[in-house]
Amino acid sequence: MDYRDLKRAIGTNIRVKRHQFGLSLNALAYELGVSYQQVQKYEKGQNAPPCDKLILLAKIFHCGVDDLIITPGGEPSGRETDSHNPWAIQGVTMLVSHFARIPQKRVRNGICSLVKLIADREVLQQGADSSEPRSCL
């Protein structure tokens, strides 16, 4: 993937998320502190948003920066996708961000147990062993 492809992928993701959130070009531009023409250039892949704007976009769209730089094919741009790097999985950053906002430890433990149970069942279905469920906190 070259730089032009990366700019187009980021632009597409910004446009999709802007539409999902029902924001106009002007509204997003206001939130970013840029002109609507600049947002258009981001969305068309003519300009890439600088790091500070990517971080702000992630906050506006309640996602991780990595979710903004995922290519249309679903592959992270320039990041490993193997099982040794769970942060490369699309949506992990957003999941962790939302999880961290849950104030009750009991609820967080319940979520961890549920996720582990689901993951263990997937592993068992593939013929591998799993360990006993335990708290992840």
pLDDT digits (tens, 9 = 90+) for 85-98: 565 566 666 677 77
Whether residue 78 is predicted with pLDDT greater than 70 in this model: the reply is no
What is the predicted pLDDT for the residue at 79? 43
The DSSP line for 64-82 is: -HHHHSB-TTS-BTTS--S
- Burial class for 43, CB neighbours closer than 10 Å (0-12, 13-18, 19+): buried
Q: Mean pLDDT across the stretch 36-57?
A: 94
Q: Mean pLDDT across the stretch 72-77?
A: 50
Give the CA distances from residue 72 to residues 49, 69, 107, in Å, rounded to whole numbers and listed in that order: 18, 9, 34
Please, which pLDDT band fits residue 127 given cuts at 50, 70 and 90?
Answer: low
Residue scoring higher pLDDT (82 or 105): 105
Please, which pLDDT band fits residue 24 given cuts at 50, 70 and 90?
Answer: very high
Q: 1-10, 27-36, 71-80 — which one is most confidently predicted on average?
A: 27-36
Q: What architecture does CATH give domain 3-80?
A: Orthogonal Bundle (1.10)
Whether residue 117 is predicted with pLDDT greater than 80 in this model: the reply is yes
Please, which pLDDT band fits residue 60 given cuts at 50, 70 and 90?
Answer: very high
